[in-house]
Structures are given as C-alpha cells and as structure tokens.
Chains A and B, each alone.
Chain A
Amino acid sequence: MSDFKLNNGLEIVVIPDHRAPVVTHMVWYKVGAADETPGKSGLAHYLEHLMFKGTTKNPGNTFSQAVAAIGGEENAFTASDYTGFFERVPREHLKEMMAFEADRMTNLVVTDAVARPELKVVLEELNMRVANNPGARLDEQMDAALYLNHPYHRPVIGWHHEVEKLTYNDALAFYRRFYTPNNVVVVVAGDVTPDEVKSDAEATYGKVPVRAEIGPRVRPTEPVQDAPRTVTLADPRVEEPSVERYYLAPSAATAKPGEEEALDVLATVLGKDANSRLYKTLVMDKGLALSAGAFYSDSALDYGKFGVYASPKPGVTLHTVEAGIDAVLDAVIQHGITADELDRAKTGLIADAVYAQDNQATLARWYGAGLTTGQTVAEVSGWPDRVRAVTAAQVQEAARQWLDIRRSVTGYLVKSLHGEESRS
C-alpha cells in the first residue's frame, strides 16, 4: 500500500493486487449532498450525472465509448460527504482513464439540450429508488427527523419538489466551487505498482491546476436532542409492517478512541445475523418477529447512525415487537455482553477485513470512503487491530451512552386503506 500527494494537492492511494490483470480506478471528490445550499437538494447527485456529458477535448460520450471499447465498467455514486467516479479496466488502460478523469475534473461542458433529459432521468431514478418503495420513503422521513439541524437530514437524491427545479447552471456553479484537484482522493487498486501509478498520475492529474481553495468542511451541528421522535408512514401497498429505530451516534471520524470499534461490536452482537441477540430473542425464542437486526453506519464526516429493526410475525403488533427490542437493548445496557459474544463478534469483524482482501473494488471503496470522511490511510488499515482491542466494558459503555431514546427516531411502516393516503 502506498499513499502520496501531488503538487496540486491531489492525494493518491495505491492498493496492489496482482491476481488478475485488472485495475479499479476511483476518483473521490470530498463533496456530497451535505455540502449543498439549502433549497437545492439533489444538486451533488445531479452534477454526478452531468459529469458524463463530455468536455471540449472529449465531447459527448467519448469517455464512455472509450471505456466500452476496452471492455471496461464505469459508474458513479453520490453520498452525503462524497461523490465518486470509477472505471474498472484491463490494467494497461489505467493511464488513459486517468487522462479522461483529469480532463473532466475542470473542463466539463454542459448544454441545456443534454441537461434537460438528464434531469428527467434523475427524477425517474428518484421514482425508482424512493417513490415506488414505501420502505425507502420511511427511511427518508426518519433521517429528516433524526438530524434536527445537520444537513444529513436531506436525502442524497434530493426532495422531488427541489430536484425538479434544479438547473445545470446550479450544477456548474457547484462544480466550479468543489471540483478541483486539491479536493480529490484517487484510489487505484489492482495489478499496478505505486511507481507506475505515481508517474502516470503526475503526467495526467499533476497537470490540473488548482481552481478553488477548499476551506474546512464545517456544517451546522446538532443541538442537544431532548425528545424522542416517532414517524409513521402509512401506505396501501405495505403488506408487511415493520419498525425501525435510528439513534444519533458518532462517526468513525468523530468517535473517541475505541468508541467506533465498540459500536461495531455492539451492532454485531445485537443484530448482525441469526446468532445475534435480537434475532435469537425476537425471532427464535419468543416467536414475535420474522426478522430482526441492527446496524451501525460510521462512514461519515460528522455523525454516524446506529439502527435496530424488526418485522413482526402476523398477528403481533408493532408495539409488542418494539417492546421486545427495547428489552434486548436494556439487557445489554444493564448487564453488558458475554466474553463469548465479544470473541465471536471480533472473529467475524476481523474476518470481514480478510474477506475484503479478495475484492479490489471493496478495498478501494473502504479507503475512498474513509479518506473523504476524515480518516487517514493508517486509521483505515488499523481497524482490525482496534477491533481486537475492544473490551466488554467498552461495549457496555457504548450501549449506555449511545442507545439513548432522547436522541432517536422510531419509524413505523404500516398499511393504510386506499383513500387515507395523502400522496403516493
């Protein structure tokens, strides 16, 4: 592994993997939906789509056609804190991909004629991912309720009424402000050496001038959260109700030493799979639920999120299942976890890091997401060792501190009858 910066501030991480003659090339911009101006939700994502519309040097879909001609894959993604573009190609084409990405970093050309249909595409994406899916609509409403003041309360894809009013001039202004080499991390994973990557990068990315200074990423912070919130989404298409709860939690970047790893262990013990406390208690032992689990998402600059969920068996109410979840959480808060649970959770988490070595694209994503959300290469690499050091007492303390109902939102997904619904 190797990590270095070019003179213009662009950072490069190289993860060699010589098993197949393939390279994964990812360009991560340190900008996402949380950096949008209020009222322009969805802008970071719309710009991501427009980045495929060409430059003066490579007009139209020249880049996409070049990727197809060499049998490559390409795509892009947007999150709250980052926007990423990637190509997976036969190794000998890495420099060509770097040249294309360096070109569109500052030379994008967008016209009304290409921007308009693309906005419709984005709205169809929103319909597909969110509008057609009651569970996804509930998740959006829960995020909006969880983050009282921080921009994480906005959906990454944007609110429909704001997305439909976005213009390509909005997107280009955003582009000029944030798309500059000093705001970029490039991750190259695959059949390459750090030396060749460095010389190719200097010949391509190294030539892109800095066009904007990037200040510290300071967003509005959460006030003291005093009141638990509940959100109910009722839709005639819900055939299987469910309950889910989000707790405000620290992210990998904001957690105190040991806290992120303790929360990883906590989420594993509570709800990673069929061996977890929530599943065993609610699904196997008490027969209240058909599914139950927990998760901790820590890959964010400002706040993480700890979640628990369950879907009741037919005939069992959501409130009964929720009370069952609360009893499991209370037991961990009061009595902690066992030494055996701690060992098994650590074994699984550390093994995940080994399994990830089998997939260059997964590794590239780990480092890219880490480095665009306030972590260093050493911190990302050191995660298994930090997991190994977690104690049962730390896990109990994390549960006591972060599973605090006052900093949570509970969401109920329920069936409504036709006609009761305000919109669908």
Chain B
Amino acid sequence: MIALGRAVSLVVRKHAMAGLAPCAVAVTLALSAGPAAATKIERIVSSGGIEAWLVHETAVPLITVNFAFAGGGAQDAAGKAGTANLMASLLDEGAGDLNADAFQERLDRKAVQMNIRAGRDHIRGTLQTLSENRDEAFDDLRLALTQPRFDPAAVELNRAQILSGLRRQIKSPTDLAALRWWSTAYAGRAYGEPVGGTLKSVQKITIDDLKTYQHRVLARDHLAVAIVGDIDAAAAKAMLDRVFGALPAKAQLVAHQNVPPQGLGQRININLDVPQTVIDFGGAGIARNDPDFFAAYIVNHILGGGTFSSRLTSEIRVKRGLAYSVYDALLWYDDTAVFFGSTATRADSADETVELIHKDVRKLAEDGPTADELAAAKAYLNSSFVLNLDTSAKVASLLVQFQLDHLGVDYINRRKQKIAAVTLDDAKRVAKRLFGGGMLVTVVGRPAALASASDGPGTAAARVPPLLPAAIGGGDLH
C-alpha cells in the first residue's frame, strides 16, 4: 500500500587503482540459522583496477549487474535540466554500428534486460541476462556505455516522449505537489530542477550537450558495481574490464555547495480541479554519514515508516479514515538531506489532515518516542533487513547503494549493532533535531471553498474509535 521514496545518496568512491593486485575480502552473512546458504559478498578488483562486489549464487541460471556513476541530474548544465535523463534514456537506443532498431533487436534475441536511468546524483543501471547469454549481454552493455550514437531520430523521439510525460505532469496532482516542493525547497539550486527537466529546458538540449555529458560523467573513477548470480570471480573480473575498461579514467564533476531545504514553515496551495487533494510535506533531514543517522532512521520509522502501526498511519488512516496512504521517508543526497512525506485526502479534509501531520511531527519533536515504540522500531528494522536479500535484483541494488554510501563490504554485519546502540535519549534528542525545524507543505486540489463539489460523502470527521489496528489495503485492481 505504501510507496516509499527511494533513498538516494551520494558519493565519491575512492579511486580504483590500476595495477592493484586483485584482492578479495569475503564476508559471510549469517542472517539466520535456517538452511538457506548465507549470502557471501566478495570484493573483487579486476586486473584493470575496477572494483565490484560479487555474490556468486548458482541456484538460478541468471546474472544481474547493477552499477552507478556519480552524476545524475545535479550535473546538468544551467538551463539544460533533463540532460542526464535524456542521455541515459538514449544509451540503449543505438550504439556502435547498430542503430536504435538494430540494438533493441539484438537485446531482444537473447532476452537481455537493460535499464539505465538518471537520478538526482547518479546514473544508475541494471543488466539481467540468462547466464548462457552472458557474453552477448556484456557486449551490449559495453556498447551502450562506451559507444552510444545519439542518432538524431532517436534523440528526437526520446525528447518527444519525455515532453509528453512532462505535459501529463501539468495536470497530475501528485507530480505537481512534488515538483513544487522541490522547486521551493531548492530554489536556484541544482536540486530545485526536476531530473526529467522542464518543457522549456528539454527543448534546448542539443546532441552536443548529450555527448559532453556522457564524456564528463561516464567514467571509471566514480563507478560502483555489484554482480549477483551465476558467475564466478574470475569471469566477473574479466567482465568488469570488458564492459567498463574502455571508459575514461576520470569524470569531470561540478562540485555543489551543501544546502538545507528552504521555505520551511510555508504552506503552498495550488488549485487543481480534482476529487482528491494531494499533500506533500517535509523538512531538513540528516546525512547518511552523520553520527545521528540511525537514530533519525528509527524516529522517522516511528512517525511514518513502512508498517501499518506508524503514528501517521494510525492517526490519519486508521482512526479517522482520512487517507488510504500516508508515509514519510528519509532521503539523503550528495549535497543535502530531507525527510519527505505524502498523503491524499478529500478537499474538505485537507486542512484537518495538514494540521494532524503538523501535530504528530511537533509531538514527536517535543516528547520523542516512547520506550516501547523505540524497541518495536529497532526490532522491525533489524529483522526486516533480510527481506531485501531474496532476489538477485534487490541484492545487487543494495550492494551498489552500500558502496555509494561508503559503508564497506562488512557493513551488513555491523548494521545490527548500529541500530542496537541507539538509546531512548538519542532518539529523543534526534527527534527534536530532525522534526523540530519546521516543514514546507505543498497542497494540490480544489480550494476549500469548493470542497463541497467533492464526490466523496460529505460527512464530518469520524470519531476516534477505541483501539485501532492498522489495516492494510490493497487492491490489485487487475
């Protein structure tokens, strides 16, 4: 039921050194006493000096490669927002001697799945292949990353598709609420520009801009790679040199100043004639490398994390039936961090819902969590971790994230202690630090005066029932 924003973050990995003797650090994850073989993460370095984390697992004849280049929308040139996004979308639309058609057909013949996208701080991609087709698949990825063509026909088609998506956003309450939140919180900054760009900026991006971006960002020194599946260390190392070896050694990245979100304390209303009003809210967060990160992670979970007993879900959904979904998440980036949440409710309950969110955030900032809440959140965050490890795609993505976060190959074994170390005093102090700084709120929907036009039943706010379970909903409506 709840769609959490993906935590995206930062970082510059240390340079891989050419000529370094290949070393392997193996870490075994004893996650449970069960019969499942523990996931073994091996740090490998190719003879060309490219590092990756490998999980060799032969039960399913598949290989998943996940990778990230530091860069993303934050590296777009001024006035050219959307460059990273357009460039990433074109990498599998023609490369080497193959035009878009021929390249797509080549992927199709061997059922190779390639997906490369831009985020705020990174270009991230995945490659999945049946292990029997791995050589072709690795060549496909090498071509996409090192010899993209940016043919005019492909560029114009992708540009038109992106513009079409941007025009849709103009009347989408969820998109409008988020766009306004970010453009206000980071006005004049890179993070204030949408990664997808704007109707104006996307039209200005030239093929030269795309090539310049590619050569600046797709390089070996700020690259993180994870490989999971039916491939051993020797073959994985050979693959690293084959796929990434021809990239330039060093990226040319523009440094940004670290900035907190602006506009806290404001509420911005945007009129749009829709039956349901969308509310986004958030404030300054805590960096991934901050000593208070885990305490922040825990108190955020208590406020609006992914279970049905969070304070926000309990107050807004279960007790009052005001919304189907309400959540907030910690997001961390190279040069800022926020907590950010969202919900949607009838126009005539929008004010009440905003007030409840403020009240819950204030209360947690002032009083902190209870000892029981802290214990429950710690138990949840410890035990739930293993659910991230049941598919190759999830493991590969997680291992790249750990590298981007500079966590080290043994991080999984240390995570539990970091959570356990958070005391009630820490949680109270950090709740105040995280939630005491005010919020920026964006609200998109019918003005309150027109709320009676809502399709919903115009009943008064529901009474608070005695003891209420979190319920789940979920409609797999086809």
Contact = CB atoms under 8 A, between A and B. Distances in A.
Contact of A131 (B376, B455, B457): B455
B468 A60 contact: yes
Interface in B1-28: 1
Contact of A64 (B173, B306, B308, B465): B308
Nearest to B112: A351
Contacts of B101: 280, 284
A325 B276 CA distance: 35
Contacts of A61: 308-309, 467-471
B380 A69 contact: yes
Contacts, number: 284
Interface string A21-54: 1100000000000000000000001001110111
Which secondary structure characterizes the binding site on chain B? Answer: loop
Interface string B133-169: 0000000000000000000000001001100100110
A8 to B, nearest CB: 26
Interface stretch (A83-91, A204-212, A216-224, A393-401): A83-91
B401 to A, nearest CB: 17
B105 interface: yes
Which secondary structure characterizes the binding site on chain A? Answer: mixed
Contacts of A238: 171
Contacts of B320: 117, 120
A273 B101 CA distance: 11
B468 A114 contact: yes
Interface in A291-305: 291, 297
Given A20-B36, A348-B108, A76 B321 contact: no
A72 B61 CA distance: 28
A423 to B, nearest CB: 7
Nearest to A421: B273
B326 to A, nearest CB: 10
B470 A52 contact: yes
B104 interface: yes
Interface string B442-478: 0000000000000111010011011111111111111
Nearest to B60: A357
Nearest to A235: B171
Contact of B108 (A21, A76, A124, A275): A275
Nearest to B375: A69
Interface residues of A, number: 97
A64 B321 contact: no
B308 A131 contact: no
B62 interface: yes
Contacts of B466: 113
Contact of B57 (A19, A50, A283, A352): A19
A117 B477 CA distance: 21
A354 B382 CA distance: 31
A388 to B, nearest CB: 14
B157 A283 contact: yes
A22 B472 contact: no
A64 B470 contact: yes
Interface string B59-82: 111101000000000000000000
A124 B467 contact: no
Nearest to A362: B391
A-B complex: 10 closest residue pairs judged by Cβ atoms? A71-B383, A61-B469, A120-B321, A71-B384, A77-B476, A117-B321, A351-B111, A52-B471, A21-B32, A237-B171
Given A61-B471, A71-B387, A239-B171, 16 more contacts: A20-B31, A48-B475, A64-B308, A69-B383, A71-B386, A90-B383, A124-B323, A129-B475, A131-B274, A131-B455, A191-B35, A238-B171, A239-B167, A290-B164, A348-B108, A358-B392
27 contacts: A64-B307, A64-B471, A68-B380, A75-B1, A76-B472, A90-B32, A120-B462, A121-B321, A121-B323, A127-B346, A155-B477, A156-B477, A191-B34, A237-B172, A238-B171, A239-B168, A274-B104, A290-B160, A311-B164, A347-B108, A351-B111, A351-B130, A352-B111, A354-B130, A359-B391, A359-B393, A361-B390
